[in-house]
A and B are shown apart, each in its own frame.
Chain A
Amino acid sequence: MRSEFSTDFVRDMDPVLGEHYTQWLPYCQESIAATVDELAHPDAFPGTLGIDNGHVDRDLLHSACVAPFRSYLRRSGKMLRPYLVCLCLEAYGRDPRTRPREIALAEIIHSSSLILDDVADDSTYRRGDLTAHQQVGMLVAGAVGSEWLNLGFEVVWRDRESLGSRITSRLIEELAWEHFVTGLGTTVDCIWPWQEKTNCLPGEYLQQVVHRSTSYTYRLPLKIGGLTADVPESEVAKLSAFGEQVGLGFQIVDDLLNVKPSDEHWGKEVAEDITQGKLTLQVILALERAEGARRARLLEILRSGTHVRSELQEAVGVLEETGALEECRRLATELRDGALKIADDLGMDEIYRRRLKALACYVLRRTR
Chain B
Amino acid sequence: MSAVIDFSELQLLSNRAFARWVPRVATNEWLREVSGESRFVWDLDAIQAGFLDPLYEIFNRHPERWRPLLAAGLMQAADIDAASQDAVLAALELQFLSSTMLTRFRNGRTAAEAQSAGEIPLAVIATVSYTARQYAPTLVIRHAASLSQDAKTWLACRFGRVTVQGTAGAAYNLFRWETKKSLMDENSYLAYLRYFVSSASFVLSADCAIAAAAPISTYAARLQDASASAGIAYHLAAECETWRGDEGASLEPGHFLMGPNHAPDRRDADPFDGSENIGRWLALAKAERDKAEQLAEGMPRPLQNVLVQFLESAVDAKLKIEREAASAK
The residue on A at minimum CB distance from B140 is A176
Assembled-state Cα–Cα distance A204/B41 (Å): 5
The residue on A at minimum CB distance from B174 is A140
B126–A142 contact, CB under 8 A?
yes
Assembled-state Cα–Cα distance A140/B99 (Å): 14
B43–A116 contact, CB under 8 A?
no
Assembled-state Cα–Cα distance A188/B130 (Å): 13
Asked if A95 is at the interface of the complex by the 8 Å CB criterion, the answer is: no
Asked if B102 is at the interface of the complex by the 8 Å CB criterion, the answer is: yes
Asked if B87 is at the interface of the complex by the 8 Å CB criterion, the answer is: no
Assembled-state Cα–Cα distance A190/B54 (Å): 14
A204–B42 contact, CB under 8 A?
yes
CB distance from B213 to the nearest CB of A (A): 20
Asked if B218 is at the interface of the complex by the 8 Å CB criterion, the answer is: no
| CB-defined contacts of A195 to chain B, threshold 8 Å | 46, 49
B123–A119 contact, CB under 8 A?
yes
B176–A137 contact, CB under 8 A?
no
Using an 8 Å CB-CB cutoff, how does the interface string of A15-59 with B read, 1 for contact, 0 for none?
Answer: 000000000000000000000000000000000111110111100
Task: With A60-B175, A169-B149 as known contacts, state yes or no: A50 contacts B161, CB within 8 Å.
Answer: yes
Task: With A51-B191, A137-B107, A187-B131 as known contacts, state yes or no: A206 contacts B39, CB within 8 Å.
Answer: yes
Assembled-state Cα–Cα distance A333/B12 (Å): 53
Asked if A342 is at the interface of the complex by the 8 Å CB criterion, the answer is: no
B107–A138 contact, CB under 8 A?
yes
| CB-defined contacts of A64 to chain B, threshold 8 Å | 168, 171-172, 174-176
Secondary structure at chain B's binding surface: helix, strand, loop or mixed? helix
Assembled-state Cα–Cα distance A203/B28 (Å): 14
The residue on B at minimum CB distance from A60 is B176
Assembled-state Cα–Cα distance A120/B127 (Å): 8
| CB-defined contacts of A57 to chain B, threshold 8 Å | 176
In this complex, how many residues of chain B approach chain A with their Cβ under 8 Å: the count is: 74
Asked if A165 is at the interface of the complex by the 8 Å CB criterion, the answer is: yes
Tell me the chain A residues, 189-220 only, with Cβ under 8 Å from chain B: 190-192, 194-195, 197, 200-201, 203-204, 206-208, 210-211
| CB-defined contacts of B150 to chain A, threshold 8 Å | 165, 169
CB distance from B190 to the nearest CB of A (A): 8
Asked if B305 is at the interface of the complex by the 8 Å CB criterion, the answer is: no
| CB-defined contacts of B123 to chain A, threshold 8 Å | 119-122, 190, 194
Q: How large is the interface on A (under 10, 10 to 19, 20 to 34, 35 or more residues)?
A: 35 or more
Using an 8 Å CB-CB cutoff, how does the interface string of B105-133 with A read, 1 for contact, 0 for none?
Answer: 11111110110000011111011101111
| CB-defined contacts of B196 to chain A, threshold 8 Å | 49, 51
| CB-defined contacts of B192 to chain A, threshold 8 Å | 55
| CB-defined contacts of B260 to chain A, threshold 8 Å | 139
B195–A61 contact, CB under 8 A?
no
Asked if A182 is at the interface of the complex by the 8 Å CB criterion, the answer is: yes
Using an 8 Å CB-CB cutoff, how does the interface string of B76-108 with A read, 1 for contact, 0 for none?
Answer: 000000000000000000000000001001111
Stretch at the interface among B61-69, B152-160, B233-241: B152-160
Stretch at the interface among A83-91, A152-160, A289-297: A152-160
Task: With A49-B165, A120-B126, A187-B46 as known contacts, state yes or no: A137 contacts B142, CB within 8 Å.
Answer: no
Assembled-state Cα–Cα distance A319/B160 (Å): 42
Asked if B312 is at the interface of the complex by the 8 Å CB criterion, the answer is: no
Asked if B163 is at the interface of the complex by the 8 Å CB criterion, the answer is: yes
Asked if B50 is at the interface of the complex by the 8 Å CB criterion, the answer is: yes
Asked if A180 is at the interface of the complex by the 8 Å CB criterion, the answer is: yes
CB distance from A320 to the nearest CB of B (A): 25
Assembled-state Cα–Cα distance A116/B126 (Å): 9
A139–B174 contact, CB under 8 A?
yes
The residue on B at minimum CB distance from A136 is B175
18 A-B pairs, CB-CB below 8 angstroms? A54-B191, A56-B188, A138-B107, A138-B114, A140-B107, A140-B174, A146-B163, A151-B160, A153-B161, A176-B137, A177-B35, A180-B134, A181-B36, A183-B135, A186-B131, A191-B49, A200-B43, A207-B39
Additional pairs, 5, CB under 8 Å, beyond known A137-B108, A204-B46, A207-B40: A55-B190, A138-B111, A143-B167, A153-B137, A172-B156
